[in-house]
Amino acid sequence: DQQVKQNSPSLSVQEGRISILNCDYTNSMFDYFLWYKKYPAEGPTFLISISSIKDKNEDGRFTVFLNKSAKHLSLHIVPSQPGDSAVYFCAASRGGSTLGRLYFGRGTQLTVWP
C-alpha cells in the first residue's frame, strides 16, 4: 500500500511566485521526511529534510512544513524559477533499524513558466 501520497500529479506556477507541493502519509511511525527533485534520465537530487520533532525547516528558497497531527507536509519554493521545473518526490523514513529504507510518493511535476 502507498504509505506516502502526493495527490497532485502536476502543478504549474508563474516565475517569481510561490510553489507549494503537498504530501500526505499514513504511517505514524515515520520519523524523518525528505524532498527530492528529479530531472528526466537523472537520479533524484536531495533538497531538504525535516525530523518529526520539528515543524519547519528552511534552506534558502526551500522551506518544508510538517503537521504531524494531520500527517501532512509541504514544500514551499519562493520565489519559483524556471530551473525549478522538475518532478518533486516526497519521501519518509521510519528511522531506527529501517533507517536505510525510504518510502516515496509518486511525485508531482512542477512547471514554472516565465
Cβ pair 17, 76 in contact under 8 A: no
Q: Which is nearer to another protein, 4 or 80 (CB)?
A: 4
Alpha carbon separation from 103 to 9, 10, 110 (Å, rounded): 17, 20, 20
- Catalog residues that contact another protein under the rule CB under 8 A: 31-32, 34, 36, 41-46, 49, 89, 91, 93, 95, 97-107
Q: Which is nearer to another protein, 30 or 80 (CB)?
A: 30
- Residue 105 CB, nearest distance to another protein (Å)? 8
- Residue 82 CB, nearest distance to another protein (Å)? 23
| Grid cell for residue 113 | 513558466
Integer Cα distance of 72 and 85 in angstroms:
23
Q: Which is nearer to another protein, 23 or 80 (CB)?
A: 23
- Residue 14 CB, nearest distance to another protein (Å)? 28
Integer Cα distance of 73 and 51 in angstroms:
11
- Residue 16 CB, nearest distance to another protein (Å)? 29
| Grid cell for residue 60 | 534558502
| Grid cell for residue 73 | 507536509
Q: Which is nearer to another protein, 7 or 98 (CB)?
A: 98
